[in-house]
Each structure stands twice: as structure tokens, then as C-alpha cells.
Amino acid sequence: LEPRFYYNLNKRHNKGKRIDGNSGNFISLKTSYNSDLFFIGTNEDIHLETDFMVIPTWGIRRNLCKHFNYEAGFGIGYIHYREEYNINNKSDVAVNLHA
């Protein structure tokens, strides 16, 4: 889940630049939760590690032509791994880089 806030759409519109398809700069909060509860399969040897991640991200989205867009973003956040079979719970830095 990654809700976004496009913060410069009015400024782009006033300068005569395209804003269709959310063409603009944004900030977002990327979140994810992974658990082995959602694993469907018959192989009991597979162990999926449960984790929770939150990453604030800054990015840009631009349109080329009518039906093509590209975006790039970067963020640094937090990820927590929960070990169900060990006592060790660990946390780490998470990075979101996409283009």
C-alpha cells in the first residue's frame, strides 16, 4: 500500500505544463506486511519470514505521449523482521529505489 500526495499539480498547471495522469512530484508512505499466514502450498520445508516495513518516499511522475508515463523515487525507512522460531527479533533500515 502506498498512498501518495502530489504537491505541485497547481504550480505545474499554472505554468502550462501537463498534469494529466498525475504528472508531478509526490511524497508517499510505502507500507508492507508479509506473513507466512498467506502462503498457500504443500511444501512444509519453506519458511517465510514475517516482516513489517514503512518507508517515506519522494518521487516524480511524468507523462510522455498520451498513454505512457515514467516515474522515479527514493526513500529510506524502517523494516522489522519477526522471527517466530527464534528469540531474536531484528530491525533494520529499508531503502525504496524505483525507476
**Domain-by-domain residue ranges, the chain?**
4-98
CB distance 44 to 51 below 8 Å: no
pLDDT score recorded for residue 73? 96
pLDDT of the chain, 99 residues: tens digit per residue: 789 999 999 999 999 988 888 889 999 999 998 886 766 666 666 667 788 899 999 999 998 887 888 999 999 999 988 776 555 667 788 898 887
Q: How many Cβ atoms sit within 10 Å of the Cβ of residue 22?
A: 14
Residue keyed to cell 506473513: 35
- pTM here is 0.74
pLDDT score recorded for residue 39? 65
pLDDT score recorded for residue 35? 80
